[in-house]
Structure 1
């Protein structure tokens, strides 16, 4: 099976798992951690160009799991995290990973945040090394073993 097929299959499978837990994913910590994860993936290479911002924002707006929250609130939180990363990527990454870590206390939410990162990263068909690296970092921030997600 080609790498792209495995990524697509994994992302589809994770989206299905998220949908099954949709009602468990309503907390503010999950919301904040998810938007931080989306920003990390969008700026994984150190820069979030306008097309990447727009693509991820569109994925956020159309994701069924994230519809538990007002779209404008999600967009604002996503943009705030991206702004932190754009101002100083190294320092911003620490701050954004702290947002991700908000979901650490609830394992279902923590795993869902990682799954969202993988779904967002793989949505364009190329879950590249930079994206994998930031999702792996998020695993450590959440106390989850990266190998659980094939990272």
Structure 2
């Protein structure tokens, strides 16, 4: 055990570096989930796809836009059937699929909560970032706690 009274200091640069690098890695590993939570608004209610319409936004568009029509019961108990206002070029929903609808009572609009489906390669990268960040942050906290208790016990000795 190092004797702190003789001037041996804990490696604060390493501890700080682990913490400072670990936090962004944790954030990067969960960025897609955090972004979805920050940008999605509305009260989640269960719903069911009753129809999927496809159309071109303008005649010159080379792709179709899909707007699903959803049946759901809002939090007030009213049965509703609505279409999503702005569609997408790639919805993977079929008639009868169960979905989570984000109901926005203020403007009487809805959005469909899209489940996270990470591809294998992206999932591996994200989990690697998350794991590395967690290890670095926990290691820095562990060093601070262990070094603190060691220093306290050293100072209490006669």
- TM-score band, normalised by the shorter chain? under 0.3
Q: Which has the higher contact order (CA 8 A, sep 6+)?
A: 1
Counting helix residues as a fraction of each chain, which structure ranks higher? 1
Counting strand residues as a fraction of each chain, which structure ranks higher? 2
TM-score (norm 2): 0.22
Q: Who wins on radius of gyration, i.e. which is larger?
A: 2
TM-score (norm 1): 0.23
